[in-house]
Chains A and B, each alone.
With several copies, the nearest count.
Chain A
Amino acid sequence: AGRGSRGRNCRLHSLMVKVRDLGLGFESDEIVKFKYCSGSCQHARTNYDLTLSSLLQKHAIVPGPHDRPSSHPCCRPTKYEDFSFMDVRHAWKTVSQILAAECGCVG
């Protein structure tokens, strides 16, 4: 795949975020390079995905309120990393499985 389309595929992205803005309720001034997975998994679809897409589009399958049939593999971490920091009271905290280390089209 050429330079252009590689950019769209599922890959690792990162973002500088304050620990307090992670939304987990910790109070800390430290920042973390939050790594997450995003991008297209078009190239990993199967006949199942094509069929499910078609049936969803024709409303042959009408998912329930909580149902969310996914018609393509999803771009997800295939490896996680934990992260430790000192909160405002200088107590050490560790949050497990919070950073994506590697990404892949799974499922």
Chain B
Amino acid sequence: LYFPRREYHENVYLEQPGGTSLLQIHALKDSEDEEVYFWLCPQLHIPRAGAKDNLWFQISEKTGLLFLNKSLDREDFDTLFAGNWMSMPKLILQVYLTSRPFQGRECRESYTKALVKLSVVNATMPACGSLMPSQLCFADTDLSFHIKENKPPGTFHQLQRFALQQQCQNASISYTIIADEGLPFHYNEDITSIRVAQTLDREEREKYELIAKCTVREGSKETSTEVPLLVNVFDEDDMPPFLPNGTSTTDAVVEFSRKEGTVLAALMVYDADTTPIFPIESSRKKYTGIINSSDPWIKETFRAEHIFHEISFRPNGSQVRGTRHEYKLVLNKNISVTESRSFQLDVIVNDTEYQGPNKSLTLHFNVSVLPISIQFSNVTYHFTVNRNAANFSQIGKLCIDNCMRFYGVNVTYSLQTPNVSCYAVTIAQGQEGKFGILYVNNSAVLQRHDCKEIQYPVIAREERSKKEAYTLLTIVLDGSLIHNDDDCPDSCAVSKTRSECEECGGVGVLMGKCQWRQGSGKGITTNYSTCSPSIKTCPDGTCDAVEIKDEKICPQDCTRANIVGGHQKGVLGTGIRAGHGVCHCFPDISCYCEKDDIREPLCDDMC
């Protein structure tokens, strides 16, 4: 049994005699053989005042007619609403249903309930003349109902307002229902009741909009009022999952991206039923997706993730909500580069709340795990380094085949002992273990004339599988030595002008001198002016594996210190993404972005 409405509203006046009918409540059956008995909870509730014993209202057990069994007088009003200054205080009754007659007055919470919100007017029933026709017609302008699909027909509402219409005997009040042809509703003009005449199917239609028209005739005067009457069809899980175009198979290839969380492939399952997301717990349990495999490796290495989206179906023109369930095959852990196998992985999808046949179906993922080769495409790599290069100057990158496409594959690069005792260069591991960055770590060696060409054997090793690749690195030194002024700062970023910048070196410079980047100068821009060891790598928005070793190299990319002046921080909170005018830094202390035309007042006392 269930109520077609959650709430009913009506007015109650003082001194209305006992026995006055107030409101007709309806219930609908879940099955034909059910009987309907109506009950009132013993307590009524008054907002702000709490619960009180119900001495005034009764409901007919068989018909659901709510009536006054004892008149509500002024004294009752005062005891009920003592000090409640609201102009029209409200009291709330709870009606519940049982399908067997019993005398017990226990209002168990497991029973479905409807609320009756009675506005208590602190006056006697008004004379008929003082009432507006619309007041006579409808207690509630919100006529919306819900009817469960697949349930037996039944009456779900009665339009007439008993008490007021009893008061105005000489007014003729009639109702009609305006609706499209062929709707499954029947209106009984005599008792103004509306009935759903057949079992409804939400997957056919989930919303019906009718109009209740009320006409009041008093003598020659006739007025009519129309109120929309809305019926929502409640869903029941009566439809099985199905595949949109029969495709339950797809390929899932694991190659370069072998990292936990990688989405390999996705398949869709549709359901004509709705899937509520709230409450979240029960929503999650409604549709499950389990990997059907006894192979522990498969169960450990893959997982099925499920999200759902609401979609619309359009059976015969009306729009009906349904669900598209998306099942993704996801790596549950990193996979070794050597792993290589192919198999079919099945995911069993189950609509747990659907009771009929075919409540579950199987999705097939053709999984192929391809091995990755760890190898250098070149037999040798050749770089030229200027003898004036400073420590931390970046020479180049070493990268095995496809290294930039790897995810979840950690490659370590290392230089072995060179052919000559000229130890000038080393290698830093790039982000996410993809490549190695060659840089100078002993600039003094570059200035030795006996060091002209240095060869390093290079090993690239994949950490998990220990697979290795080899190549040969040749470093050729060239350029004639130049001298830097002793007064030069260690960091290029300290310089604020082109002249200061280009007359000095600093950590990370490639050719002995810092490089000036002239910006566009307009507002706060990513193209700010600054002095850099190498414009190619600094500033480039990334605090790379070499720059991170010492903030003096490229504070423009790496600083975490205070940045003063118009600026915008780097995406990861480090460095200067955009700046105003010239950006210069006192590494590890502060950076400034300011217009270069602001002349510092040179003295204090002397002004």
Interface residues of A (CB under 8 A from B): 1-5, 7, 23-27, 42-47, 49-50, 53-54, 56-57, 63, 65, 68-72, 74, 95-97
Given A27-B523, A74-B604; A2-B589 close (CB under 8 Å) = no
Q: Are B592 and A3 in contact (CB under 8 A)?
A: no
Q: What is B's interface to A at a CB cutoff of 8 Å?
A: 485-491, 494, 504, 506, 523-524, 562, 564-566, 579-581, 586-587, 589-590, 592-595, 598-607
| Chain A to chain B: the 10 pairs with minimum beta-carbon distance, closest first | A25-B580, A2-B489, A4-B487, A25-B566, A24-B566, A43-B586, A2-B490, A25-B524, A5-B489, A25-B523
B566 to A4, Cβ gap below 8 A? no
Residues from chain A with Cβ under 8 Å of B485 in the complex: 4
Q: A2-B504, A56-B601 provided; 10 other pairs, C-beta below 8 A?
A: A2-B494, A2-B506, A3-B490, A24-B524, A42-B600, A45-B590, A47-B565, A50-B565, A54-B598, A56-B605
A26–B525 CA distance with the chains assembled, in angstroms: 10
Interface centre among B523, B586, B602, B605 (most CB of A within 10 A): B605
Question: Once the chains bind, are B605 and A4 in contact (CB under 8 Å)?
Answer: no
Q: Nearest-CB distance from B489 to chain A (Å)?
A: 3
A1 touches B565 (CB 8 A): no
**Please, how many angstroms separate the alpha-carbon atoms of A2 and B593 in the complex?**
20
Asked, given contacts A1-B491, A7-B487, whether A24 binds B580 with beta carbons under 8 Å apart, the answer is yes
Question: Most chain-A CB neighbours within 10 Å: which of B562, B581, B604, B606?
Answer: B604
| Contact partners of B487 in chain A: CB under 8 A | 3-5, 7
The answer on a CB contact under 8 Å between A70 and B604 is yes
Q: Return the contact of B593 from the options A25, A42, A63, A71 (Cβ within 8 A).
A: A25
Chain A nearest CB from B496 CB (Å) reads 9
Tell me which residues across on chain B come within 8 A of A42, comparing CB atoms: 586, 592, 600
Question: Chain A nearest CB: distance from B532 CB in Å?
Answer: 15
CA distance A50 to B591 in the complex (A): 12
Q: Is the CB of B605 within 8 A of A47?
A: no
Q: Which residue of B lies closest to A42 (CB)?
A: B600
In angstroms, Cα B583 to Cα A104, docked, is: 24
> Are B564 and A23 in contact, with the CB atoms below 8 A?
no
Q: Is the CB of A50 within 8 A of B605?
A: no
Chain B residues, Cβ within 8 Å of A4: 485-489, 504
